[in-house]
Amino acid sequence: MAAQRLATTGSVSGPTMPASVYEMTVIGFLIVIALYIGQVVLVPLALAVILAFVLAPPVRMLRRTGIGNTASVFVVVGIAFAIIFGVGTVITQQVGDLVEELPRYQATLRDKVKSLKDVTAGSGGAIQQASETLKQLQEELESPKTPAAAPQTMAPVAPERLSPATGERRPVPVEVRTPAPTAIDQLQGIIGVVLAPLATAGLVLLFVLFLLLQREDVRDRAIRLLGSNDLEKSTTAMDDAGKRLGRYFLTLTLINIGFGMFIALGLWLIGVPSPVLWGVLATLMRFVPFLGSFIAAACPLILAAAVDPGWSMFLMTLALYVVSEPIMGNVIEPVVQGQRTGLSPLAIVLSAAFWTLLWGPIGLLLAIPLTVVLVVLGHHVERLEFLNVLLGDKPPLSPAERFYQRMLAGDPAEAVEQAETFIKSEPLVDYYDDVVIEALRLAQADADRGTLEPERLIDIRNTADVVIDTLEDYDLTPKKVPKPQKSVIEEASEEDAELGPDVADTDADRRRKDTARRRAEEKEKDKEEEEEELALDLCTVGGGAIDPAWRNENAILCVASRTALDETAAMVFAQLVSKCGLSVKVVDVDHLRHGALSAEDVKGIRLICISALHVREKSAHARFLVRRLKRSAPNALLLGCFWKLDPEDSQDKIILDSIPVDARAHTLREAVTFTLKAASTPADEETTGHSRDAVVVRAAS
């Protein structure tokens, strides 16, 4: 209900979807049918697309050396398919050797099973007795009921069909003889087995050559087919996405090959037969999430148990997989690759099931690469954005939208959990700015449109109050934690920053990329320095640099502009300032509605903060409130906190200029910084020619 109400308010902008649910269902159904029927062609095409992504980086490297595009493609593809053919030959040989040796292992495996049965029977015999009881019960249930003898009339039987001793019927022997296969039949059987893989390999080779030779043309046609309105931007985005995906798949393939070689070497040292076969299986199964490692380890474990009369080979093989897989997945892969797939866990499971159901084992191997490609397309192509929402690992709602949704549902527990996760890596003021204030603005906008019932407003206010009270005990700045790794989809959306430029790039393109990269690095560095500077201010100013007059009761007064949500935003500001040692008082909306502030309210006041979430439609009310406050406290500074208004916007600037306050703040960061600077100004500055207006000017600048 809460999510539905949130969607109807228009506060959350969703991805571009097809015109109707019916159209989307029909289109999806037709696509699934086409994928299933056309798998003879589509499976080689999918394999070729993934191989093209893997081989694109080596092709670009050869192009940088001065070799032409055509020669680079044929050299790389030739080497790749030669390696694939060589590995396939070795696998075929090892499979043949394993089949010949299997009869030798049957006796050992039978002895192992018998020893296990003896162990279970010797340990009290409980399992054996239960098994025998169940077997007897099954025989009792399956035994046919003996029918009563009934007279029946039998047809006469020929004398030659009767047994001379007993006079009973003799069975008629029937023998089915299959003619010996001819040479043509044998040739057809061999061709039928070999032709399908050869045809698939031929199609894959043809598609790979075409995709690599006509890479730019295929990219441009795909962009045009998707109907992009901004061809230049989309072309750049798709080209960067292709390069990122190419590096990702190439790195993933090399990592998996290294893992397979390590497994093959370990099994060879242990003595497990056909180690190369199991190494190749381990390489392929690492493309399959979750289940791949278990599938790759099952066959070598069974074979180790069958080969060795004891259990040492089985245990060493088990230890090899148990130790190597976690190290590869949690240590080596993040260090070498440094990227996630960008898929949600649910999307990984569903994609594996979907593609396996459509294309069998090949679909299982291609599930994750194909899904990553689809999500990258959804990230860049507006009409396919729903794929990124459904399959990507990024949250479908922004933190502010999610907090608003939890407020609508009246669920403070999840809202607090979200807050605690956020402030583990970000300052508390950023959480309040980016999440709480933004969510309160969404709620105020819906309330002004009349789409929120009074009960909903109460739930929103109560949930926000619980979160604010819970965060009262948290520090202003978090402990340093490592930043999360970027997914391949996030990397695909950033500016391409390769070590060497593509030969197709002009000098201007290279300079543009270098300039963009330097600007991005400088911007990130400036942001980190700004956060560290603010954290230093918030931690040190409260330690004794504050003017004693600002520590008195009622030194700072927070006033809600007109609504209860404005008052909630004022409480957030009051909490941040009070953490720095300042005395803050929040005046509720009802208090102001009954008249002007009393003399007791403004006694010793230094700063009045006006909290307003929506000023665009209520600027007249804000001007009236400012005049009332100036009459009540003429000596106090007036800080207008007009949350999230853009002073660079011409319309917002006109509205802000019409409200006669001493200083303005548009974020909590600005408001807290101004307040701390004003509070740290010594009281005797007024006698040395510096007025408090100078503080306002410095803070505004």
pLDDT at 11: 45
**Using CA atoms, how far apart are residues 537 and 579, in angstroms rounded to an integer?**
12
Number of neighbours of residue 458 by Cβ within 10 angstroms = 12
CA distances to 305, 637, 699 from 630, rounded to whole Å, are 88, 9, 20
pLDDT at 141: 63
**Using CA atoms, how far apart are residues 346 and 334, in angstroms rounded to an integer?**
21
Structural tokens at position 610:
């006006």
**Using CA atoms, how far apart are residues 601 and 585, in angstroms rounded to an integer?**
9
Beta bridge mates, 392: 343
Q: Are strands 607-612 and 584-587 parallel, antiparallel or unpaired?
A: unpaired
3-class secondary structure for 611-674?
A: EECCCCCCHHHHHHHHHHHHHHCCCCEEEEEECCCCCCCHHHHHHHHCCCCCEEECCHHHHHHH
Please provide the size of the chain in residues.
701
Q: Which of 60, 367, 391 is nearest to 244 (CA)?
A: 60
pLDDT at 319: 92
Hey, is 415 helix, strand or coil?
helix
Longest dimension (CA), the chain: 141
Contact, 633 vs 598, CB < 8 A? no
Q: Which of 281, 289, 297 is nearest to 364 (CA)?
A: 289
Distance from chain centroid for Cα 607 = 45
**Using CA atoms, how far apart are residues 405 and 409, in angstroms rounded to an integer?**
6
In the chain, the N- to C-terminal Cα span, in Å, equals 46
The full DSSP string for 583-598 is -EEEE-HHHHHTSSPP
SS3 content of the chain, % helix, strand, coil (to 5): 70, 5, 25
Structural tokens at position 394:
């990024």
Task: For residue 329, give the amino acid letter.
Answer: G
**Using CA atoms, how far apart are residues 305 and 291, in angstroms rounded to an integer?**
21
**Using CA atoms, how far apart are residues 203 and 626, in angstroms rounded to an integer?**
76
Question: What letter does residue 393 receive in the DSSP assignment?
Answer: S
Hey, is 291 helix, strand or coil?
coil
- The answer to whether the pTM exceeds 0.85 is no
Contact, 352 vs 366, CB < 8 A? no
**Using CA atoms, how far apart are residues 50 and 369, in angstroms rounded to an integer?**
7
Residues 6 or more apart from 629 whose CB is under 8 A from it? Answer: 559, 597, 608, 610, 636, 638
Q: In what order do the strands lie in the sheet with 584-587?
A: 584-587, 556-560, 607-612, 637-642, 663-665
pLDDT at 513: 56
**Using CA atoms, how far apart are residues 373 and 369, in angstroms rounded to an integer?**
6
Tens digit of each residue's pLDDT (9 = 90 or more) over 550-591: 777 778 888 888 888 888 888 988 888 888 778 788 887 666
Region of residue 689 (phi > 0: left; psi between -120 and 50: alpha; otherwise: beta)? left
Task: Report how many helices (DSSP H) and strands (DSSP E) the chain contains, helices first.
Answer: 28, 5
Question: Position of tokens 């309330």?
Answer: 447
Residues 201, 206, 211: CA angle, nearest 5 degrees = 125
pLDDT at 684: 45
H-run or E-run covering 16: none
Q: Is the dihedral of CA 306, 312, 313, 317 positive or negative?
A: positive
Hey, is 343 helix, strand or coil?
strand
Residues 6 or more apart from 648 whose CB is under 8 A from it? Answer: none
Hey, is 162 helix, strand or coil?
strand
- Those residues of the chain that have pLDDT short of 70 are 1-20, 112-113, 115-134, 137-177, 180-181, 183, 185-194, 226-241, 289-290, 336-341, 477-545, 589-601, 615-618, 647, 681-701
Task: For residue 131, give the amino acid letter.
Answer: S
pLDDT at 126: 56
pLDDT at 265: 93
Question: Position of tokens 């006006």?
Answer: 610
Region of residue 623 (phi > 0: left; psi between -120 and 50: alpha; otherwise: beta)? alpha
Distance from chain centroid for Cα 692 = 50
Can you list the domains of the chain with their CATH numbers?
A: 247-339 (no CATH), 399-494+507-538 (no CATH), 546-700 (3.40.50.2300)
Structural tokens at position 282:
């381990």
**Using CA atoms, how far apart are residues 430 and 423, in angstroms rounded to an integer?**
8
CA distances to 87, 246, 253 from 492, rounded to whole Å, are 32, 10, 18
pLDDT at 505: 46
Torsion of CA 547, 549, 550, 551, to 10 degrees: 100
Question: What letter does residue 549 receive in the DSSP assignment?
Answer: G
